[in-house]
Amino acid sequence: MRESNQKPILRDATYADLPALNDIYNDAVLNTSATYDEVPQTLQERLRWYEEHLENGFPIVVVTDSRNGLLGWGSLSAFHPKPGYRNTVENSIYISERAKGKGFGKAILRRLIECAKEKGYHAMIALIDSENAVSLHMHEKAGFKEVGRLKEVGWKHGAWRDVVYMELIL
């Protein structure tokens, strides 16, 4: 992370983080193609998501600092519901607009990779919009390889979007 006056802290998410976490996600829903959700999530929906992650042992990591509060978050989720995929997880990372470009996404990704290894997962998958050069580069630097590209499978902001599948064998 770049040098600054703030001391970022990487830690597990708590219930108290959910409003800020949801705000960051909803900003991505409305203003980016980082998610193909089209409707912002309610706090109740976010609470259910959080509790499902806890129940299933999937980590949610946040980065905070004393001045600006929650700056970003990331999580691991099931890649696919069929049992044969149980050793593969999908990662998601969202950074607040004010905190982009400061290395927080890289720090979260490193921690998620550590969590996946600690939990014994075999592979980690990232589904990334093909125009999200920052995320593609960040995942590549972390060892992910592009393993597939689906053309025009997502619709967001009035355009068809391509999705890049990236994989890290743990």
Q: What is the extent of the structural domain holding 51?
A: 9-169
Q: Can you tell me the distance from the alpha carbon of 3 to that of 147, in angstroms, rounded to the nearest whole number?
A: 34
- The pTM score is 0.92
Q: Do the bridges between strand 145-156 and strand 123-129 make them parallel or antiparallel, or are there none, so unpaired?
A: unpaired
Position 151 in a domain: yes
Q: How confident is the model at residue 66 (pLDDT cuts 50, 70, 90)?
A: confident
Q: Is residue 3 part of a domain?
A: no
Tokens matching residue 97: 């607009």
Q: What is the dihedral of CA 91, 63, 37, 46, to 10 degrees?
A: 100
- Domain presence at residue 2: no
Please write the tens of the pLDDT for every residue from 104-151.
999 999 999 999 999 999 999 999 999 999 999 999 999 999 999 999
Indicate whether 1 belongs to any domain. no
Query: Over 50: is that where the pLDDT of 2 sits?
Result: no
- Give me the residues paired with residue 128 across strands: 164
- pLDDT for 87 equals 97
Whether residue 76 is predicted with pLDDT greater than 90 in this model: the reply is yes
Number of domains composing the chain: 1
User: Does residue 81 lie within any of the structural domains?
Assistant: yes
**For the domain that residue 27 is a member of, what is the CATH number?**
3.40.630.30
